[in-house]
Amino acid sequence: MAEVIDGKSVAEDVVSKVKALTSELVAKGATKPGLAVVIVGEDPASQVYVASKSRTAKECGFHSLQHTLPADTSEAQLLKIIDDLNADASIHGILVQLPLPGHIDAGKVIQTIAPEKDVDGFHFINVGKLGTGELETAFVPCTPAGSMLLIERVRGKDLSGLNAVVVGRSNIVGKPMANLLLAANCTVTIAHSRTKDLPALARTADILVAAVGRPEMVKGDWVKPGATVIDVGINRIPAPEKGEGKSRLVGDVAYAEAAKVAGAITPVPGGVGPMTIAMLMANTVASAYLAAGMKRPSF
């Protein structure tokens, strides 16, 4: 059976380090890290995420600010808030919770955030830095950054010569994940819905990352024996065995099958999920260090 990669415990390690770095920063007389979270509308899943992000920021000793705006907030009003946060020296990270209401251009909003405060890593400048290997100053999207830490826990930092297959080509996970693996000297293939013979390609992977948003799409016989499998998917499916109308969370990988073949695998829940918020905290503290003219901490 595969080693189960415990994302919860790695995330706790990251948050502990963030707390220590925050104390160190404040002890040196610098401004404590500040994270501003902006949410527009009443999306229940977004409300849960935002509450969790704000709570973790406070735990880390950050200055935590939250703007909760009604769904009919205009794009101009939202852009004004971001401008103000860009100019606020006590804020090092700005996060606008997606999705935004339909009348607001999310792309325009993200590109308005100052790149050095873009702790989500979605600004074109950060995307470009990641794509060209400028990792010292880039902010990397939190889910792929967290996935990379989990891979390093199993495989070490130097992944030279390993074959990596990333299933999924989104801007938020698939593409940045591929760039991180390239930077670690993997041979990387990005696969997607149009890929021919996806199972055969997946079987070439020493590191297989599934980020497609399709429940249990990656089967056990897609996995190369001994491979490291990172399951980024979070899908809710019906669970009649738990009772009428009940559901359960599954990943993009058929876990029970894959765990019999893989060398190491992330569970869902408890794998990549906890890492996302931990890496948001890591990016924010890194931004505060850079703003104070100090060396960026590594995780």
Is 221 an active-site residue? Answer: no
Beta carbons within 8 Å of 99's beta carbon, 6+ residues apart: 43, 46, 106
The catalytic residue among 17, 118, 120, 129 is 120
The catalytic residue among 17, 97, 117, 231 is 97
HSE, side-chain direction, 13 A CA sphere, residue 278: 25
Q: What is the spatial distance between Cα 249 and Cα 253, in angstroms, rounded to a whole number?
A: 12
Is 97 an active-site residue? Answer: yes
Known catalytic residues? 53, 97, 120
